[in-house]
Structure formats: structure tokens, C-alpha cells
Amino acid sequence: MRAAALPWFARHEARLAWRDWLAMVQGGRRRRKAVVALAVALFVIFLHLLAYGLLQSHADALATGKRAFVALTGAMFLSWTLILSQAMESVTRSFYARADLDLLLSSPSPAAAIFKVRLVSIALGTAAMSMLFLGPVINALVLLGGWRFLSAYGVLAAMACSATGAAACLVALLFRAIGPRATRLASQIVAAIIGAAFVIGVQVVAIMAYGGMSRFTVLQSPELLAAAPAIDSGMWTLARAAMGDLGAMVVVLAASVAFLAGVVALISGEFARYSLATVGQSGGASASTARRPAFRKRSVAQTLRRKEWILLARDPWLLSQSLMQVLYLAPPALLLWRNFGGDGGALVILAPVLVMAAGQLAGGLAWLAISGEDAPDLVATAPVSARALLGAKIQAVMVAVAAPLAPLIAALAFASPWIAIVTAIGAACACGCATAIQIFFRSQARRAAFRRRQTSSRLATMFEALASISVAGAAGLAAAGSWGAVAPAICALAVVAAARALSSGR
Amino acid sequence: MEALTITGLTKTFARRAVDNLDLSVRAGQFYALLGPNGAGKTTTLRMVAGLLPPDAGRISIFGVDALADPIGAKRMTAWVPDEPLVYDKLTPVEYLEFVAGLWEIEPARAQDSAAALIRLLGLGPHAHERCEGFSKGMRQKVALAGALVHAPRLIILDEPLTGLDAGSARQVKDVLLERVRAGCTVIMTTHILDVAERMAERIGIIARGRLVAEGTLADLRQLAGERDGSLEDVFLELVQERREEPAAA
């Protein structure tokens, strides 16, 4: 094979992508392939059962018609925004994560070719990831609605291509508008907002119009159905393609592939120039900090807590990644506002939502404080006991989680003191569970590795999610006044105990 | 008085990294620990700094048992790793304030000490810039300032001059020598034998986890039978002997 040719680069990229994926599913450890295959198979089966369970109650909406078109188009747009967000993150990373770019760009190979292959490989990776998570939904649709839904796989591939093309255009626009230094952060924030905005937007409409948080209520509302275009409108091409219209599917797929090809052809040369412009920006340039009176008398715990908060506040990307979870608190806050003074029935939903948000936020922050340490040798050689160090870090996490939740819980206390108490206790428990799991699976890494924290331990991520769901379930049931809350509470304790048992064997 | 006494120190990973090592360093001495790659230098020093638990042996720092009272030992010790790990989002001044807080140094004393170190190490123009854009040499100097801001009695440095330009290396060497003159004990590993030859009062050579030779440069020359040789000649001679030992045995 001739070196530096497009197929040669493609093979190189494919090998790297495969090894990256393998490392991700293996959680950074070399395990027997059979164990990994079994774990992946179980995960896929779980997703299939989940998708089937969720779609079963809406099976009547799958018959071709305006109702199905609206629901499917809405769901596909929601998914597309998430895929676009993921693709934007990948495109941005391809400039700034310079593991091999210095080598490639200093070689005599044309830089444009590198980015051609890289953009296509991002499209393929995005498609593969989408297949993993949305494939079970399509398979459930096939089971419930017939073989025609298999064409949705073509639509999914089209969505991945178009999202990658759109992501490349957006990143290029950001480069032109604000330059390489600011693009990294701006692009990651835009990606996160794109991923959350539409989901939250539909939820806001649901709350304002129907007093609930279900997105499906909006997509199936009589008002939206009445306002939607007629059934023969071209706007439903995507839905038709997903529901078995092969002609429509070919058109959608061809248009998306052509769009991606056009973007790759037009932008890859430009990307090579941007890439050179990002040299020296990968670590971030020095920023001056306002001089202020330093060296105040503080206890060791205060010193450590302050350091954690300063580092979090000064890293806009980490802050945006963590606070993005807080963005999801906007709909519950709106629901609280809308139902303020009511009988409290509608507010019961807030308890599990806020508890879940607390657990998720605590998981990320706990990783940053407990595992993400940039100067581990300094902290370990300080004359401070390990217990005191850990205590200060946990306090820093608890305060950071409490800050955005406290105003909501305080407002909730005026509307329904019982729900507020349950929510506060549930949030503290979810926070405690997430932090404990992070401590059990602690593995030192630099804070910059935040994005890969979930790959370092799939098990910790899984336990964290299970504990949050269990505590949120318990909080929801307790808020509704049901003794059934005891069952998920015991389940949460069991999850934490299992996490401890499994982590000690590592 | 002995600043550091190591007795029977042993650490095994996949193979024995440190093998029943005995070593002592007098207070106020500049001690260079030399050895080929993988000889066990860093492992030894990481155990002394409290970063690795030994499998066996004893470590005493100024008479304090570092394994029984690690906090007491750490209070007198500073560790500078070969990879300067500092917080990207803190400025050098803030980093020094953080370190002073960890060692619970009086703020006024810490501030004076930080100001002096920033001046001595040439960090003044960048004292209020975040470390994220700093070169490796700048980071190394910030890490060194952090190690010295709490006025340790024992300073342990692992390859502190790697990656520094000539000017920065001179600044670091001057600061270390000044500390030794003030009564501090410095233990340093280095592959730059010229530096060890010119700065260290005593030199220890470690190979396969054991101390194979120790003394002044003159002592080592005598041991190696190299009457006029440089430290490089002596080092290669002694390490070569050690390498050949198992084969000879």
C-alpha cells in the first residue's frame, strides 16, 4: 500500500478508532475478550428490553399517518441534535487533542487528505455510536410495526452523515468568527447547548401548555397535529423514509452523503490551516489573573476547598460540562413556578428529578475533586492525613452541588414542605452515593481527562447511575406519601454495597 | 546528625526494584544519587517522600520514623518530581499560597518566602499568569518554588534539571546551593554527571536496587581504580562491574 494515500490513512484511522473503542468497553483494562463480548451483549439486550417497554404503550401511533409522522419527525430531530452535539465534540477534539497531529502535519503527506479521512472517520464513528444506542429502538419498532422499519437504519446513517457535515461547518464558522484560541471552549459549549436545548425546549412547552414534563405530550398534542403540514407534505420525507418508504430513504441517504462529501471536499483544506493555527493552543494560553491580597490565614481544609472551587471556576469547559446538568433543572424550576400555590400534586415529580440531577452533578464533581488531581505528589507529600484531604474534597463537592439546588428546594418548601424535605434528604443521599462510589473506584488522573472519566471505570459509571435512579425513585415515592419508597431505598444501599465489594476486589 | 537514614529498604513490583537498601545522608549535605535507568533511584526517593509504602525496611528523617509518623516526617520534607505537576489554572503566587496553606505556614512568612523565591527563580514577570501556558522549565521552577516555600529541612529532587535551559538550570542550582549553605539537606537524582560532580559533597551510586558505591568523588575514584577519571568514567566503571556481577557469579 502506498504510504500517505487516502486508503492508507483510512486504514490507520480505522485501526486507532477500533482500539479506542476496545479500550472504552474494556474500561482501560485488558480483560478477556469473552467477558467484554458478554458485557456488551448484556448491555445491548438491556437496551432492547428498555426500548421495547417504552414503545409498547405507543404502538398505536406507529401506523402511517400524520400522528406517527409528527411523533417520528420530532423524535428524529431530538436524536439528530444529540448526534450533532456528539459530532461537534469529535470535530473539535480532532484539532486540539494533538496526540498525532504534530507527526502527521510535519510529514510530507498533504494535510487536506488527513482531514478528509478524519472527517469521514468521525462520521463513521458517530454512525456506529448512534447504531449502538438507537439500533435497539429501531429493532423494537421492527418487532412492533413490521419489517418496513428496517429502513430506519438508512435514515440513521443519513443522520450521522448530515450531523457530521453540519458539525464541521459549525466548527469552521467558529474558527473564522472567533479564532483558534476561543473556538475550543466555544465549540464545546455550543455542542452541549445544542444537545440540551431542544430537549429542554420541548419540555418547557409541555410544562407551559399541559402542566407536565413529558415531551411526548407535546409531540402528540391536538394543537401540534392541527398545525402540522398535510400528510403529503415534503416535510415528512424523513418520517416516510424511516417507516419503510425505500424511495424516500434513498433520497435522504443520498442527500446526506452528498452533503458530507461536499463539506469534506470544501472544508478539509481549510481545516488543515486551522489545525496549524491551533498549535500552541492545545494546552491553553496563559491567562493573567487579577492581583489580590494573597496569603491569608486559612485552615488546611479551607485551603483545599478553596483550591477545588478556584480550579472549577477557572476552567470554563469543566464548569460548562458540570453545569450543563444544572441546565436540566430549568424545566423542573418552571414546573414549580407554574404550579406554585396549587395542591402540590404536580410537584411530586420534582422530587425524583431534582434528586437525579443532584446525583449526576455530584458524580462529575466528585470525580474532579477526588480522582482529578493535577499535582498528586504535592498533595500526597503534604503533612495532612489522607482522611483530612478526602474530607475537605468531599465538602467542596457537597457545597458545589448544594449551591444550585438550594434555591429550588427553598422555593419548594413554601409550596410543599413535605416534598421539599424529601427532596433535600434524597439529594443529600444521591450526592453521598455518587461520592462514595467515586471514592471506591478512585483512580488518580489529570483533570483534563474529565471527558474520559467514564471510560476509566464503566463499573463506577453504571453503579453511579443505578444508585441515582434508585434514590430518585425512593424520593418520588416518598414525596407521594407511599411506603413503597423503602424498596428503591434498599436497592440504593445494595448498589453502594455492591460497588464497595467489587471495588475492593480490583 | 543524620538527615535521612534508610535501613533494609525493600520494594518489589514485577521484579525487585529496591533490594535491602541501606543509606544515610548527613544533615546539611548535598547528596547526589546516581544510577542507570531502572536502578531504583526514584522508587527509593518516592518511598522516602511517603508516596510509596515499602515492603520492608525503615526510613528515618531527622530522627522521625517516616513510617510510624508520616505527617511529622512530611512536615520537614519537600519532594520535587521529575515531571513538574502544577495546577494549570493557578498562578505561581496562588500555587505557593496553596502549598503554604497545606504546610500551615504563617501567612506573612510564606508571603516573604514566596516573593524571594519568585525573584530568585526569575518567575517575577509571570507571577500572576496561570501556569497553563508555561514551558516545562517554567513549571519546574514553579514546582521547585512550591517545594521551598515551606522551608523544608530535607529537599528531595528527582531529575530537577531535565528540560531546563542553561539559564534556568543555573538559577535552580544557585537556589539549591544557597539552601544547603543555610543548613538544608538536598538529595538529588540526576543523569547529568557533570552537575553531580560539581555540586554534590557525597555521591551514592545505585544499581539493581542496591547501593554499589558511596563517598566523595575522590572516594569513588579510588573504588573504581580511576585515579584521574571524571565522574562519568568512575560511574561507568562501577555500574559496569555491577552489571557483570551476576554473570560472573
How far apart, in whole angstroms, are the C-alpha atoms of residue B127 and residue B149?
14
B99 CB neighbours in chain A (<8 A) are 378, 382
What pLDDT score was predicted for residue A1? 42
Q: Is A314–B97 a contact, with Cβ atoms under 8 angstroms apart?
A: no
Q: Any idea what DSSP says for residue A57?
A: T
- Domain extent, residue A178, equals 1-15+55-282
What pLDDT score was predicted for residue A284? 44
Q: Mean of the pLDDT values across residues A129-156?
A: 88
Q: C-alpha cell of A133?
A: 444506542
Q: Is B101–A283 a contact, with Cβ atoms under 8 angstroms apart?
A: no
Q: Closest Cα of chain A to B186: distance in Å? A: 16
Looking at the fold, whether A258 and A317 belong to one and the same domain comes out as no
Q: Mean of the pLDDT values across residues A161-166?
A: 94
Do residues B112 and B105 make contact, with C-beta atoms less than 8 angstroms apart? no
* Across A137-146, A177-186, A207-216, B6-15, least confident range: A207-216
Looking at the fold, whether A97 and A246 belong to one and the same domain comes out as yes
Looking at the fold, whether A2 and A146 belong to one and the same domain comes out as yes
Looking at the fold, whether A275 and A357 belong to one and the same domain comes out as no
DSSP for A328-364 reads TTHHHHHHHHHTTTS-SGGGGGHHHHHHHHHHHHHHH
In a domain, A399, yes or no: yes
Residue A207's Cβ-count burial label (10 Å; 0-12, 13-18, 19+) is buried
Residue B165's Cβ-count burial label (10 Å; 0-12, 13-18, 19+) is exposed
pLDDT band at A430 (very low <50, low <70, confident <90, very high): very high
Looking at the fold, whether A210 and A316 belong to one and the same domain comes out as no
Most B CBs within 10 Å: which of A181, A289, A291, A295, as the mutation test of the B interface? A295
DSSP run (H or E) holding B19: strand B16-26
Q: Note whether ipTM > 0.90 here.
A: no
Looking at the fold, whether A111 and A202 belong to one and the same domain comes out as yes
In a domain, A124, yes or no: yes
Looking at the fold, whether A204 and A63 belong to one and the same domain comes out as yes
Q: Is the pLDDT of residue A334 over 80?
A: no
Q: Which residues in chain A (378-397) have CB-CB distances under 8 A to chain B?
A: 378-385
How far apart, in whole angstroms, are the C-alpha atoms of residue B227 and residue A133?
73
Do residues B234 and B214 make contact, with C-beta atoms less than 8 angstroms apart? no
Q: Is the pLDDT of residue A493 over 50?
A: yes
Q: Closest Cα of chain A to B201: distance in Å? A: 26
Looking at the fold, whether A239 and A387 belong to one and the same domain comes out as no
Residue B99 contacts A where some CB pair is shorter than 8 Å: yes
In a domain, A43, yes or no: no
Do residues A338 and A425 make contact, with C-beta atoms less than 8 angstroms apart? no
* Percent of chain A whose pLDDT exceeds 70: 79
Domain boundary among A247, A282, A317: A282
Looking at the fold, whether A90 and A135 belong to one and the same domain comes out as yes
Angle at B216 between CA B214 and CA B222, to 5 degrees: 80
Based on the structure, what is the number of domains in chain A? Answer: 2
Residue B13 contacts A where some CB pair is shorter than 8 Å: no
Higher pLDDT, residue A477 or A455: A477
Higher pLDDT, residue A491 or B1: A491
pLDDT band at A164 (very low <50, low <70, confident <90, very high): very high
The strand pair at B77-80 and B30-34 is best described as unpaired
Looking at the fold, whether A186 and A135 belong to one and the same domain comes out as yes
Number of H helices, E strands in chain B: 9, 10
What pLDDT score was predicted for residue A285? 45
Do residues B239 and B35 make contact, with C-beta atoms less than 8 angstroms apart? yes
Q: Which residues in chain B (139-168) have CB-CB distances under 8 A to chain A?
A: 143, 146
Amino acid occupying residue B70: P
Domain boundary among A223, A256, A282: A282
| A392, closest residue in chain B (CA to CA) | B102
Q: Is the pLDDT of residue A73 over 50?
A: yes
* Across A202-206, A232-236, A351-355, least confident range: A202-206
Q: Which residues of B171-198 are buried (b: 16+ CB within 10 A; e: fewer)?
A: bbbebbeebbeeebbbbbbbeebebbbe
DSSP for B48-112 reads HTTSS--SEEEEEETTEETTT-HHHHHHTEEEE-SS----TTS-HHHHHHHHHHHTT--HHHHHH
Residues A95-126: tens digit of each pLDDT:
776 566 766 776 677 777 878 888 888 898 88
In a domain, A25, yes or no: no
Query: Going by C-beta distance under 8 Å and a sequence separation of 6 or more, which residues neighbour residue A379?
Result: A373, A389, B102
In a domain, A50, yes or no: no
Query: Going by C-beta distance under 8 Å and a sequence separation of 6 or more, which residues neighbour residue A131?
Result: A153, A156
Most B CBs within 10 Å: which of A96, A311, A377, as the mutation test of the B interface? A377
B140 CB neighbours in chain A (<8 A) are none
| A378, closest residue in chain B (CA to CA) | B79
B72 CB neighbours in chain A (<8 A) are 383
In a domain, A292, yes or no: no
Nearest to A296 among B72, B107, B130 (CB): B107
Do residues A151 and A181 make contact, with C-beta atoms less than 8 angstroms apart? no
Nearest to A288 among B79, B88, B128 (CB): B128
Amino acid occupying residue B123: L
CB pairs under 8 A between A and B: 111
Q: C-alpha cell of A431?
A: 450526592
Amino acid occupying residue B75: R
What pLDDT score was predicted for residue A401? 86
* Partner residues linked to A288 by β-bridges: B129
Domain boundary among A221, A248, A282: A282
In a domain, A308, yes or no: yes
Q: Mean of the pLDDT values across residues A266-293?
A: 64
A297 CB neighbours in chain B (<8 A) are 106-107
Looking at the fold, whether A100 and A176 belong to one and the same domain comes out as yes
Q: Is B86–A375 a contact, with Cβ atoms under 8 angstroms apart?
A: yes
How far apart, in whole angstroms, are the C-alpha atoms of residue A115 and residue A95?
10
What pLDDT score was predicted for residue A57? 73
What pLDDT score was predicted for residue A451? 63
Consecutive sets of 10 residues in chain B, 249 residues long: mean pLDDT of each?
94 90 94 91 92 93 94 93 86 91 90 93 90 87 93 93 86 92 94 86 91 88 76 79 50
Q: Which residues in chain A (432-461) have CB-CB distances under 8 A to chain B?
A: 447-448
How far apart, in whole angstroms, are the C-alpha atoms of residue A315 and residue A86?
21
Residue A295 contacts B where some CB pair is shorter than 8 Å: yes
| A380, closest residue in chain B (CA to CA) | B51
Looking at the fold, whether A309 and A244 belong to one and the same domain comes out as no
A385 CB neighbours in chain B (<8 A) are 71
Do residues B41 and B206 make contact, with C-beta atoms less than 8 angstroms apart? yes
A381 CB neighbours in chain B (<8 A) are 49-51, 74, 77-79
Phi–psi pair at B202, nearest 5 degrees: -130, 150
How far apart, in whole angstroms, are the C-alpha atoms of residue B16 and residue A151?
61
Q: Considering all CA atoms of chain B, what is the largest pairwise distance in Å, rounded to the nearest integer?
A: 61
Q: Is B97–A377 a contact, with Cβ atoms under 8 angstroms apart?
A: no
Q: Which residues in chain A (132-191) have CB-CB distances under 8 A to chain B?
A: none
List the one residue out of A270, A277, A263, A101 whose CA is nearest residue A182: A277
The strand pair at B16-26 and B210-215 is best described as unpaired
In a domain, A26, yes or no: no
What pLDDT score was predicted for residue A185? 76
